[in-house]
């Protein structure tokens, strides 16, 4: 039987609970989640508390990992716990434990070193602008980065929702390069190279184990695939806003402001269909889409079938090693899990 449960957050908007049980903590709009390779820690972006917090899944406790709670951009080179951090829209944990965070304003990507717990900026200048490619990433500006994901090939892909582009940070050289998008805000270019295609709101990205990249268009209400040859195609969404198509081909379905995607261990695409308050899944085997959690607004449903549960504008998701699905249920101020019992 598949059920949904809350693992962190008591539902109250606020900040409390560090050092205690995660279920009793307060948070303020968790916007993304990621699990580390040890399976012990689940990190989440506590967006409007301007902090990264983590849940010890072995103890079900919560602690602050980075940020003072003061909105801003300061503290590079020092302890992450003493740094000021802006709104965090995404979080990504590397296999060595390093944590990358995506700051929406003061637009930058910052890294928290696993060993030293120091924080540094690895991409972006902090100034808003459409930056140049093929230069050091810390010298190239961004407009509004909303997601970042490790590509498994030594790079970090960055989705800039207002620049309408995906860019790739080479973690070895520190250079930033174009990956997808022309900067034009439109949905076009299917069947051609991703670098010459236009994107309508590059909100989120993920990479499967075969090296395919998936792109979530917030404004276009579609999911697109960039294959290993760099060719872009649309795989889900008609482009219209709506909530239709479950049980049918994803390309015929409608979405409403999707804001996050991640791949599961079988290569399927998990979509956070935010304005429909739902989590949906696109099967890579047959191209069908279905709702696997939520579908109505509300906090209800724990302990029951996840498709009978409510959610409140979820913004983030990650799939664990056993295909359990962790959800940043943002406006319910909770972290929830869909799992097989």
Question: What does pLDDT average to in each consecutive run of 10 residues of the chain (341 residues)?
Answer: 97 98 98 96 98 98 98 97 97 97 96 97 97 98 97 97 97 98 96 97 95 96 97 98 98 97 96 98 97 98 97 98 96 96 77
Structure letter (DSSP) for residue 104: T
Residues in a beta bridge with 3: 339
**Secondary structure (3-state) at 139:** helix
Q: Using H for helix, E for strand and C for coil, what is the string for 268-335?
A: CEEEEEHHHCEEEEECCCCCEEEEEEECEECCCCCCCCHHHCEECCCCEEEECCCCCEEEEEHHHCEE
- Selection from 182, 271, 287 nearest residue 222 by Cα: 271
**Secondary structure (3-state) at 43:** strand
Q: What is the pLDDT of residue 247?
A: 98
Confirm if 88 and 52 have CB atoms less than 8 A apart: yes
Report d(CA 166, CA 194) in Å as an integer.
9
- Which residues have C-beta within 8 Å of that of residue 139, sequence separation ≥ 6? 125, 131
- Which residues have C-beta within 8 Å of that of residue 241, sequence separation ≥ 6? 221, 254, 255, 256, 257, 275
Single pTM value for the model: 0.97
Among all chains, which residue has been given the structure tokens 């909770």? Answer: 334
Q: What is the pLDDT of residue 45?
A: 98
Q: What is the pLDDT of residue 340?
A: 85
Confirm if 315 and 260 have CB atoms less than 8 A apart: yes
Report d(CA 101, CA 110) in Å as an integer.
5
Residues in a beta bridge with 76: none
Report d(CA 179, CA 232) in Å as an integer.
11
């Amino acid at each position: 039987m598949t059920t949904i449960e809350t693992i962190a957050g008591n539902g109250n908007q606020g900040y409390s609970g560090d050092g205690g049980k995660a279920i009793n903590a307060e948070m303020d709009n968790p916007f993304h989640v990621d699990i580390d390779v040890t399976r012990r820690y689940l990190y989440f972006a506590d967006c409007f508390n301007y902090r990264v917090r983590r849940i010890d899944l072995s103890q079900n406790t919560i602690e602050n990992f980075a940020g003072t709670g003061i909105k801003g951009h300061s503290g590079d080179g020092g302890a992450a716990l003493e740094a000021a951090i802006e709104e965090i829209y995404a979080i990504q944990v590397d296999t060595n434990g390093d944590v990358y965070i995506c700051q929406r304003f003061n637009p930058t990507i910052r890294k928290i070193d696993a060993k030293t717990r120091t924080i540094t900026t690895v991409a972006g200048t902090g100034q808003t602008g459409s930056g140049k490619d093929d230069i050091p990433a810390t010298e190239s500006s961004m407009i509004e980065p909303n997601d970042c994901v490790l590509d498994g090939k030594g790079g970090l892909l960055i989705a800039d929702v207002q620049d309408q582009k995906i860019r790739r940070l080479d973690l070895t050289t520190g250079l930033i390069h174009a990956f997808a998008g022309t900067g034009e805000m439109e949905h076009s270019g299917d069947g051609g190279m991703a670098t010459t295609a236009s994107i309508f709101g590059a909100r989120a990205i993920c990479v499967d184990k075969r090296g395919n990249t998936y792109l979530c268009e917030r404004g276009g209400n579609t999911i697109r695939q960039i294959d290993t040859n760099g060719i872009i195609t649309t795989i889900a969404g008609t482009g219209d806003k709506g909530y239709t198509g479950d049980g049918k081909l994803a390309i015929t379905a409608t979405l409403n402001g999707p804001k996050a995607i991640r791949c599961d261990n079988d290569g399927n695409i998990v979509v956070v269909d935010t304005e429909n308050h739902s989590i949906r899944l696109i099967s890579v085997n047959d191209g069908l889409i279905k709702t696997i959690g939520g579908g109505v607004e509300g906090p209800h449903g724990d302990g029951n079938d996840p498709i009978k549960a409510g959610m409140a504008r979820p913004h983030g998701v990650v799939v664990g090693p056993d295909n359990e699905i962790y959800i940043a249920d943002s406006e319910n101020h909770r972290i929830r899990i869909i799992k097989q019992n």
